[in-house]
Structures are given as C-alpha cells and as structure tokens.
C-alpha cells in the first residue's frame, strides 16, 4: 500500500513489497559509539556510508553496502542518488490525544504571560480536559489518527503518546483505549508510527477527587486496569508495552506523590517517564535517580520490574544529575518546541556535552505549550537555539529517542537484520537535513 499525499513524501509499508532496493544513497546508519568525539566529522559520527545500497526483504533490511543491490531482481528500485537515507525519526514525548484549541493561550504567552500565569487565569491543561471529555471516542480517534498520519508525513516512524487530558481514572482509561483502538486496525496501522502508549494520569489535579493525594491513590489502585488493557493489545506488532508518567513540578505533583505512583507502576512491570525540573528544580531528576537505583538492585535480585526510561524537560537539572542518570541508563529528553512556544530557556548542548551525556530530542506536541506536530522542527531548534551539533541532533531524534522509549532494538538505527523504518530526503551531506526546518525536502518514508 502506498499512501500518497498531494504534497509531501511517499509513504510505504515495507511489508507490502516483497523486495525493495534503494540505490546509491548517502546512508546514515547511526551506528556510532561516541556522539561527543569533537575531532571526528559529522559523517563519521553518524556511521555514514557513501554510494550505498539498502536491500529490504519482507520488511527487514537484509543488506547495507556498496553494490549490494546490483544483482537483485524483481525488486522495486528506488534511486537514492542525490539523497540521504537515515533511520525514521522517533518522537519520544508527545501528547497527541486531545480535543479543542488553546490558541488564545499561545497569544497570551506571546504577549508575555508565563505558563503558570495562564494557568492561574483558568487556562492550561484543564481547558483541554473539558474539551477532551466532551468529545466522543470516535471524534478523539479521528483527530488522533489525523495527527499520527501528519507525524508520518514529517518523517516520524515511532512515537510515544501520552494520555493526560482525562484527569480521572475512567477518563484516562477511555483515552488509553482510544490510542489502542486507533492502532489495532492492521490495515491502517501499517502506515502509522509505531506507538509507545503512556498513562499520564497525574498531569494536573482531578476535578472530582479532592486533593492530589486522593487522585494519586485512585490512579495507583487502577494500575491493574491500565495494565490489563495494555495486555489485551500486547500481540499487536506496532504497539510497545505501556509506560506511566507524572508532571512533577511546583503547583503540580510532589516528589512523594511521584515516588508512590512510579514505584507502584515499576513494581507492576510498567516502564516510567518523568516530566522533570522544567520550571524549577523540583526533584524530578533526584526521583528518577532513586527509582532507577532501586530498579537496578531489584534486577540484581532477579526481581522483574519496569525500567526508568527517561527524564524530560530538564531546564533546572544539574550536571551531577545528568551524569548519575546516564550511569543508571536513564535518557534525558530535551524539548525545544516548549521553550519556543512558552518563552522559557532552551536546554543547551554544552551543558550535556561537558558532562559527556547523550540526550534525546522530542516534540512535546500538545495543544498548549507546544502546538506543533513536528519533530523535524524540534531538531532544527536544538541546532539553532540549543547549540547541538549535527550528530547530536540526528542521534537525538533517532537512536537516543528510541532508547528513551524502550524501542532501541527496533528503531533508531539502520542495520542488517533490523526492520526497515527509514526516511530519505534530498541532500548530499548529513547537514542537508537542515535544508528545511520542517523537512519539506523529505521524499520517502518506509515503515
Ligand atoms: Zn509533555
């Protein structure tokens, strides 16, 4: 099946062609060990291979190298000369299931109001919650699917998708169900990004449950319900295991509440993300460090539990936090679009680089603080505003992002034997990724 758009790239499901070959492209495999080795050139760091062929058979890459496709017959041939092929983009932090618009808040913020001031005037997450609750499942699914298709047309082959606009157990379950249903139609899902669903129940206070502690307890009590819904869809190929998240921030949830919710989820075998240290040093990184440390000890005792996958935002994280997180295998995630729309500081690459820490870059796509469904532009901002190098951006939106959503075995690199999830854009060098901030030169997406 080829889903063509009037403008934009061709989108193919690799499973629909027995054999596909791409000839003579510059291929960036992302198979590199040290993205901060400053002496090396971008091409080396990105595992670049010139005039390279890629052979895909039944959805799996069977060869990468010069002249690999020369003797292959009966394949669909794609000419890659003048093009760069790299792993499909992985957006490891999005909030794509919602209804309604919050454009008036974008205007208020442009006029100088802060995120917290907008919230204190009745704006913020609660506005999306009202619109989302008022929408039917069919409406939510339809708008979600449109966004998922848009992401693919901008090069995203996998994304993490959070609930969080339901704000009570029943409504959060409804949103999670929506995500699963949208991805369970096998014909449609072949041309959607693979999904890593996340329950972000503790996104803000619940209007029904008085007090944040009561809401957290209700969510903890409902973990078996969330987990059993996830279990029902566990056989679907493009759906990753369920994770949970929390908005740990002053005026939102506390460290103690985060610790209770996330510990309970980890013990249940669910993975964990944290919205951490965005507006203040609120203890998000410290919580992640403590949890990951405990998870490591449990693993040593061979007790199965979830993984602490990522800490996200990090404006106020310290160098020590970042180094500890890296040692424990927790990926920092940088969200430059949120800085762009909310007029807050960008996390700068040199802070990570001086600590020798790798990071993922994500869109944070949501109706309030980042109303743009474009990981490509997030990468562009990381380069221009955050001072990230070309390899840091390109690994940040592929291999590091895949790690941040626990999908490093299936996404983020190109290697023989891995599933074909890749993109091709016009260009001759890795830097050509930035020829257009929105990726208008993207030609092909293979899922
Ligand atoms: Zn977010």
**Are 14 and 161 members of one domain?**
no
How many alpha carbons lie under 13 Å from residue 416 in its C-beta half-sphere?
A: 6
What DSSP string runs through 159-206? EEEE--SS-SHHHHHHHHHHHHHHHH-HHHHTTS-EEEEEE--TTS--
Neighbours of ion ligand 1 (CB under 5 A): 364
**Is 427 within the bounds of a domain?**
yes
308-313 and 271-276 as β-strands: parallel, antiparallel, unpaired?
Answer: parallel
The CATH number that applies at residue 296 is: 3.20.20.140
What is the full per-residue pLDDT of the chain (447 aa) written as tens digits?
444 444 789 999 988 888 999 999 999 999 865 444 444 577 778 999 999 999 999 999 999 999 998 888 999 999 999 999 999 999 999 999 999 999 999 888 888 888 778 888 888 999 999 999 999 999 999 999 999 999 999 999 999 999 999 999 999 999 999 999 999 987 888 899 999 999 999 999 999 998 999 999 999 999 999 999 999 998 888 999 999 999 999 889 999 999 999 999 999 999 999 998 888 888 999 999 999 999 888 877 777 789 999 999 998 899 999 999 999 999 999 999 999 998 889 999 998 998 889 999 999 999 999 999 999 999 999 999 999 999 999 999 999 999 999 999 999 999 999 999 999 999 999 999 999 999 999 999 999
**Is 410 within the bounds of a domain?**
no
Q: How far is the CA of 312 from the centre of ligand 1 (A)?
A: 8
**Are 93 and 83 members of one domain?**
no
**Is 254 within the bounds of a domain?**
yes
- For residue 399, which of 371, 418, 425 has the smallest C-alpha distance? 418
**Are 72 and 99 members of one domain?**
no
243-244 and 442-446 as β-strands: parallel, antiparallel, unpaired?
Answer: unpaired
**Are 309 and 425 members of one domain?**
no
Query: What is the spatial distance between Cα 114 and Cα 128, in angstroms, rounded to a whole number?
Result: 18
The CATH number that applies at residue 40 is: 2.30.40.10
* Three-state secondary-structure class, residue 425: strand
Given this model, what pLDDT does residue 300 score?
78
Query: Structure tokens of 279?
Result: 């507006």
Query: What is the spatial distance between Cα 23 and Cα 77, in angstroms, rounded to a whole number?
Result: 7
- Where in the sequence is the domain holding 338, given as residue range(s)? 89-404
**Is 311 within the bounds of a domain?**
yes
Residue 409: φ, ψ to 5°: -80, -20
**Are 295 and 185 members of one domain?**
yes
**Are 321 and 271 members of one domain?**
yes
Given this model, what pLDDT does residue 40 score?
56
Q: How far is the CA of 94 from the centre of ligand 1 (A)?
A: 6
**Are 382 and 246 members of one domain?**
yes
**Are 166 and 206 members of one domain?**
yes
Cβ-based burial of 34 (10 A; exposed 0-12, middle 13-18, buried ≥19)? exposed
**Are 356 and 423 members of one domain?**
no
For the whole model, what pTM was predicted?
A: 0.95
Chain centre to alpha carbon of residue 415? 21
The count of other CB atoms within 10 Å of the CB of residue 438 is 13
Query: Structure tokens of 237?
Result: 């190929």
Q: How far is the CA of 447 from the centre of ligand 1 (A)?
A: 25
Inter-residue contact 159 to 91 (CB < 8 Å): yes
Q: How far is the CA of 363 from the centre of ligand 1 (A)?
A: 9
Query: What is the spatial distance between Cα 364 and Cα 378, in angstroms, rounded to a whole number?
Result: 9
Q: How far is the CA of 411 from the centre of ligand 1 (A)?
A: 21
The number of folded domains in the chain is: 2
């Amino acid at each position: 099946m080829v889903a063509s758009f009037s403008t934009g790239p061709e989108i193919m499901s690799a499973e629909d062609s027995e054999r596909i070959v791409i000839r003579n492209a510059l291929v960036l495999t992302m198979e590199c060990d040290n993205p901060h080795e400053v002496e090396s050139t971008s091409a080396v760091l990105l595992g670049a291979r010139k005039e390279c062929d890629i052979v895909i058979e039944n959805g799996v890459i069977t060869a990468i190298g010069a002249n690999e496709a020369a003797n292959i017959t009966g394949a669909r041939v794609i000419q890659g000369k003048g093009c760069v092929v790299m792993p499909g983009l992985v957006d490891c932090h999005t909030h794509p299931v919602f209804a309604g618009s919050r454009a008036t808040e974008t205007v208020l913020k442009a006029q100088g109001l802060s995120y917290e001031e907008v919230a204190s005037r009745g704006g913020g997450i609660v506005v999306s919650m009202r619109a989302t609750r008022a929408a039917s499942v069919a409406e939510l699914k339809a708008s979600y699917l449109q966004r998922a298709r848009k992401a693919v047309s901008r090069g995203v082959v996998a994304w993490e998708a959070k609930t969080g606009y339901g704000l009570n157990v029943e409504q959060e379950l409804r949103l999670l169900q929506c995500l699963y249903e949208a991805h369970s139609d096998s014909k449609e899902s072949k041309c959607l990004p693979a999904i890593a669903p996340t329950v972000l129940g503790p996104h803000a206070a619940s209007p029904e449950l008085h007090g944040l502690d009561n809401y957290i307890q209700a969510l903890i009590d409902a973990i078996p319900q969330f987990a059993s819904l996830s279990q029902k869809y566990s056989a679907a190929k493009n759906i990753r295991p369920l994770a949970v998240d929390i908005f740990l921030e002053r005026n939102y949830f506390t460290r103690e509440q985060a610790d209770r919710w996330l510990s309970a989820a980890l013990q249940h075998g669910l993975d964990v993300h944290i919205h951490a240290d965005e507006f203040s040093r609120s203890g998000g990184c410290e919580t992640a460090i403590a949890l990951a440390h405990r998870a490591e000890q449990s693993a040593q005792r061979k007790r199965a539990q979830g993984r602490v996958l990522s800490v996200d935002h990090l404006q106020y994280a310290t160098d020590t936090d970042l180094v500890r997180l890296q040692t424990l295998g927790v990926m920092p995630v940088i969200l430059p679009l949120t800085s762009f729309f909310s007029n807050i500081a960008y996390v700068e690459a040199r802070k990570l680089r001086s600590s020798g820490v790798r990071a993922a870059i994500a869109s944070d796509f949501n109706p309030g603080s980042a109303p743009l469904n474009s990981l490509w532009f997030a990468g562009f901002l990381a380069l221009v505003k955050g001072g990230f190098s070309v390899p840091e951006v390109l690994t940040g939106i592929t291999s590091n992002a895949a790690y941040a959503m626990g999908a490093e075995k299936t996404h983020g690199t190109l290697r023989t034997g891995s599933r074909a999830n890749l993109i091709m854009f016009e260009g001759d060098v890795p830097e050509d990724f930035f020829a257009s901030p929105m990726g208008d030169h993207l030609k092909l997406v293979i899922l």
